[in-house]
Amino acid sequence: MEPDELFRAFEIEEPSASTDERILALAAGRFRRRRRRRAALMTIGAGSMAALFAFLAFSPGGILPPGGGDANVAEAASMEDIESLREDLVQIREMAELIPSELDREQQNIDLRVRECLKDLERLERVLESFDERLSKPETPKKGVNL
């Protein structure tokens, strides 16, 4: 029998079951850590999206403008909401920094989107401020029509 044939006839040694378990646990742990990070990001992202939607929908000039309706809705779209959204977005950015370096592109995408959202927020903030200013100005009395 040739030596190489002989080697093939033997069953080569293998690592112990405990080593197998440790390595597989290592792989599973890595995967679960990533999944947790992703879930956290998605939770924060979803929360922010809901808040943003609420803001856009109920803000003056939004999908569901408060004019003539419930005055409380207008109050909801306040500067505090914007501040809260901004905090959420900053938190998303911080979470994005936890993304492993091998996922650079994803991290950059999230960062870019968050920056865009922050710019939109600033724009909305300015709109809201000007709107508030206009509201706070006393309305000039309209000329009545004598019947």
Minimum CB separation of residue 24 from another protein in Å reads 6
Complex with another protein: residue 32 or 134, whichever CB lies closer: 32
Query: In angstroms, rounded to a whole number, what is the distance separating the alpha carbons of residues 106 and 104?
Result: 6
The position carrying tokens 């850590």 is 33
Complex with another protein: residue 26 or 64, whichever CB lies closer: 26
Minimum CB separation of residue 18 from another protein in Å reads 8
Which sign does the torsion angle of CA 106, 112, 118, 121 carry? Answer: negative
Helix, strand, or coil (residue 97): coil
Q: What's the angle, vertex CA 112, arms to CA 100 and CA 54, rounded to 5?
A: 110
Contacts with another protein by CB under 8 A lie at 1-4, 6-16, 19-20, 22-24, 26-28, 30-31, 35, 100-103
Minimum CB separation of residue 31 from another protein in Å reads 6
